[in-house]
Structure 1
Amino acid sequence: MAMANKLNVLMCGTGEYTTGWTGSGASKSDKKVVALTLFDLRRLGKVNKLGMVGVNGSKFPAIRSHLHQNIAQVYKDLDISFDGFPGDTEADPEAYKVAIDKFKPGDAVVIFTPDNTHYVIARYAIERGLHVLVTKPATQLLSHHLDLIRLSREHNVLCFVEHHKRYDPVYSDARVRARTLGEFNFFNAWMSQPKSQLETFRAWAGKDSDISYYLSSHHIDICCWILQDRAIPTRVVASAATGIATSEPYNCVPETEDTITLLVDWQSVTSPKHKGTAVYTASWTAPLRSGVHSAQNWYYMGEKGDINIDQAHRGYDVTVDDTGKAWYNPFYMKYSPSESGHFDGQRGYGYISIEKFVDAAGSVNAGTAQPSDFDARGLPTIANTVLTTAILNAGRISLDEKRAVGITKDGESGWILQ
C-alpha cells in the first residue's frame, strides 16, 4: 500500500486481548492479539497511525513497558508506538469520544471493551464515518444490533464482528462439509475457561455481561454461519448453574452464573417437516490446571452424516516438570519468532480476522469495493451476524424471566423477540 492508503486505526480497550496486560500483570494466556497484530500490519505497510483508548490513562506507563519487554524486545522491526487516550494522569469514561474525534472518516476503530459498551462506541464511530471492527458479542440487545446495521448502511462504512473462529481452518472446512449433509438435525457445543478468569473479569462478570455472551457467542456464530439461508432459530430456553463464581475466593456479584446452557429450536427454510435442535453451553468455572485456556468442542449432525471437532486438543501437547501437561494452539496465534527474528503469526486465525478487516476497509477507501459487497462473502459483517445476537439476547431474557423466548422474522431484514 502507498502511504496515503495506509489505514489509521484506533484500538478501543486496553485489556488482555488488546495488550496482553491485565490488572495483575502480564497475561498467562494466549489472548494478546490486537496490538501485536496491528504493530505487525504496520511493519507490513497496511497500517499507519495507531491510537489506544481506555478509561484510566494511569495504566499506559505499565502497558508501554509491557509492550516494550514482550513485543519490541522479542520481535525485530516492530514499532510499538501509539497515541494514548486519556492522558497518563487522567481518567475519563468517555475518552473514546475524544479519541474517535481525533481520527477522520475512512479511518478504523477496533473495539475490545466490556460487552455493554460495544453499541455506544460503535455507534459513535460509525456516525463519524469510521469503519468498525467490534469483538463478539457485537451488542447485547437485538435492537442495538439492528441499529448498527442501519447506521453502517446509512454512513456507507464497514462494520465487522470479530468472530475469529470463522477463520480457523478446521472450522471453515467443517462448515463447507456440514452444508453437504442435508437438512440440519442437531448441534452441541461446549466452551469453557478456568476459574482464574473470574479474577480477571471480576469488575464486570455478572454485572455487565455473562459467560454466554462472552464465550457461547463463538459457537453460536459458527452454527448460524453453517445454517445461513438454510434454517432459522425460532425458540430459546436457557438454564444456568450457580454457586462457584459467587463464593470465595472469587466473590462475584450474586447475579453471576457459572455455566449457562441455551437450548435452541431451528426450523428449515426449505422443508417444513425438518426441525433441528442446538445446545450451546459455556462456563468460566472450569478446573484451573486442565492444560488448556479454552476447552472447546462441537458436534454437528445432519440428515446424511455428522462432524465432531475438538479444537482444544490438536495432537500438540507439552509436558513440563513444574506445570504439567498443556495443549497449545498455534493455529490461533503463533508467538515464536521467525528464523529472521520477526513476528511469524500471520497465518493464525486470530491475526487473519483483524487483517481481513484492515484489507476490506482499505479496499472501501480505495473505491475498489463497497461495504455491502462483504455481506455476500461469508464474512462476519454486522448484517451476517444478527441471528447470533438474537439467540444471545433471547437467552438472557429466558434466564431473567424464566420462560421460553421466540424469535420471529419481521419484514425483509428485521427480527424480533417474543
Structure 2
Amino acid sequence: MAGHKYAPRLNGRRLQCSSVQLSICAINRRYCEYITLYNRFRILILSLSQGEYTTGWTGSGASKSDKKVGVVGLTLFDLRRLGKVDKLGMVGVSGGKFPAIRQHLDEKIGQVYKDLDLTFTSYPEENKTDPEAYKAAIDALEPGAAVIIFTPDSTHYPIAKYAIERKLHVLVTKPATQLLTHHNELITLAEKNGVICWVEHHKRYDPAYSDVAPPLSVNLTSSARGCLNPSHNWRPSVHGQERILILGSRLDATSAPKLDLCPYFSYYLSSHHIDICAWMLQDKAYPTRVVASAATGIHKGTGVYTASWTAPLGAGIHSAQHFHYMAEKGDIHVDQAHRGYDVTVDGAGITWYNPFYMKYTPSETGHFDGQRGYGYISIEKFIDGARLVNSGGAKPEDFDKQGFPTIRNTVLTTAILNAGRISLDEKRAVFIEKKGDEWTLV
C-alpha cells in the first residue's frame, strides 16, 4: 500500500492538532454482554514488535514513560505462568537488538517477578536485518496459533492478511488498517479462514468506559439516557512521541504526494475515543458524515468550543467544565468536574498515574499482580477467545455479538479515520454509507 493516495504523509511539517466532527443518525440498539472464556488448551503466540509497548525497551534503554517494562511481553509471560500460553516468539526488523532486549527483560522483569519464563524465539537472527522477517516467523506456526501485531500503521494490513490466510488468529493494535477497503477485506478473510481477528482497543476494558457503555451497562439504560447529543473528545499526548508515529509513515512518504495541509494524520491517537463512541452507540446510531480540519506549523491552532444545557439532572456537579489550551512549549488543563490522581516530586514535577491500566508492583508473594489492568485484560480476552475457538467451544462469529473489538465490530472506527484522511486531503465532507453488508465511503 506504499504510495497509496490516502496513506499517511511526511513532508517536514509538524501537525499541531486536528479535529474530526461527525453527524450521527439514530437507529435501534440491542444489548450484549461479555463472557468469561475457559478451556484447557495452551496456545502458541507470535508477537510482532520489539518496541516500547511490547518490551519497555526503546533502543537507548528502559522507557521513561508509564510503560517502563512494556505491556504485551509482560502480559504474555504471565499468561504462560498461568497456563494459557505455551511457546512465544518475537519479531522485529533488526536481529541485532535482541541481546539488549533480553538483558532488559531479565533486569526489569525476570529479577522483579517470581516464576516467569522469559524465553522466546526471535526473528530475524541476531546478525541479520530483515523488514519481512514476519513471514518466516508466521510460516513456522501451525494453524490455530496466534499473532499479535504492534507495528507501524502502514504494515498492519499486509501482516494481518498474511497471518489470517495461514489460518492464524490475529490481534492487531489500533488502527486495524488505514483504509476501509482493507478493513472490509480482513473481515472477509477472517470469516473465510475460521479464525478470530480482533483490534486491541483496550479502552473497551477500561472500567471508566465499560461500566457505562450501552452494550454492557445495567446502570444506564437507553431510555434513561435518551437521544444522543454533541460530544467532544480530546487526547493530547506528550510531544516527542509524534516522531515515533511519524517514522512509521516513512515507507509511504517516499512515494506519496506532498500536501500543504496535514502531512501526518494520527490514526493511532484519533482511534481511541472514536472507537469508544462508535461502541457506545452501536446498533443505536452510526456515523454518516465526516468533516476533518487541521492546522500545520507551531504558530497556528484549531479551537473547538462546546457548550450545552443538556447535562443530566443529578450529575453530581454544577457543570462539567473541561478546558485545554495547547501552546508551543506548554499547556493548560483544567478539569473542574474531576480532580485526578497525581503525584508531585521535587525536581521531577507532577506525574499523573492511571491505576486501572497496568499494575507493576509485585504481589505479596513476589509474583506479577497486574491481571486486573485493562491493558492486560485486552490481551487475555483475545487469547481466551482464540483458545475457545481452537477447542471447538465457540465460532469466531460468536464474538461479534458480545461487544468484543472484533474486526467486524470495529469497522466504523476505520471508516471514520479513513474519511478524516480523505476530508483533509480533498477539503470536503466524506459520507459513510452501508451497501449490503459492507460500509463504504462516498
For Structure 1 versus Structure 2, the TM-score category normalised by the shorter chain is 0.7 to 0.9
TM-score by length of 2: 0.78
SS at match of 2:424: helix
Residues 347-396 of structure 1 deviation map (CA, whole Å, 9 limit, x = unaligned):
00000000000111111011111101100001100000000000000000
5+ long unaligned stretches in structure 2: 1-36, 253-262, 307-323
SS at match of 1:239: strand
The CA deviation at 1:150 is 0.1
Work out the CA distance in 1 between the residues paired with 2:58 and 2:409: 32
> Following superposition of structure 1 onto structure 2, how do residues 115-154 of structure 1 map, counting pairs within 5 Å?
115-154=153-192
Residue equivalent to 2:56: 20
Among 367, 376, 380, which residue is 1:351 paired with?
Answer: 376
Residues 67, 80 of structure 1: 8 Å contact kept: yes
The CA deviation at 1:287 is 5.8
The CA deviation at 1:403 is 1.1
TM-score by length of 1: 0.82
Structure with higher RCO (Cα < 8 A, 6+ apart): 2
The CA deviation at 1:200 is 3.6
SS at match of 1:194: coil
**Structure-2 change in CA distance of 1:309 and 1:173 (3 Å):** farther
Query: Which of the two has greater strand per residue?
Result: 1
**Structure-2 change in CA distance of 1:296 and 1:414 (3 Å):** farther
The CA deviation at 1:178 is 7.2
Residue equivalent to 2:90: 52
Answer yes or no: is 1:194 the counterpart of 2:232: no
Answer yes or no: is 1:229 the counterpart of 2:283: yes
> Following superposition of structure 1 onto structure 2, how do residues 3-402 of structure 1 map, counting pairs within 5 Å?
5-31=41-67, 32-175=70-213, 176=217, 177=220, 179=222, 180-204=224-248, 210=264, 212-244=266-298, 315-402=340-427
**Structure-2 change in CA distance of 1:333 and 1:352 (3 Å):** same
Work out the CA distance in 2 between the residues paired with 1:91 and 1:368: 41
Residues 259-297 of structure 1 deviation map (CA, whole Å, 9 limit, x = unaligned):
899x9xxxxxxxxxxxxxxxxxx999986798xxxx999
Residues 38, 388 of structure 2: 8 Å contact kept: no
SS at match of 2:151: coil
**Structure-2 change in CA distance of 1:152 and 1:3 (3 Å):** closer
Residues 238, 398 of structure 1: 8 Å contact kept: yes
Between stretches 169-178 and 321-330, larger displacement belongs to 169-178
Between stretches 222-231 and 197-206, larger displacement belongs to 197-206
**Structure-2 change in CA distance of 1:406 and 1:152 (3 Å):** same
**Structure-2 change in CA distance of 1:233 and 1:109 (3 Å):** same
Residues 153, 249 of structure 2: 8 Å contact kept: no
SS at match of 2:407: coil
The CA deviation at 1:82 is 0.6
Aligned residues with identical type, % of pairs: 62
5+ long unaligned stretches in structure 1: 248-256, 264-281, 298-307
How many matched pairs? 370
Work out the CA distance in 2 between the residues paired with 1:143 and 1:186: 28
Residues 211, 258 of structure 1: 8 Å contact kept: no
Work out the CA distance in 2 between the residues paired with 1:352 and 1:36: 12
Residues 400, 406 of structure 2: 8 Å contact kept: yes
Residues 195, 287 of structure 1: 8 Å contact kept: no
Residue equivalent to 1:251: none
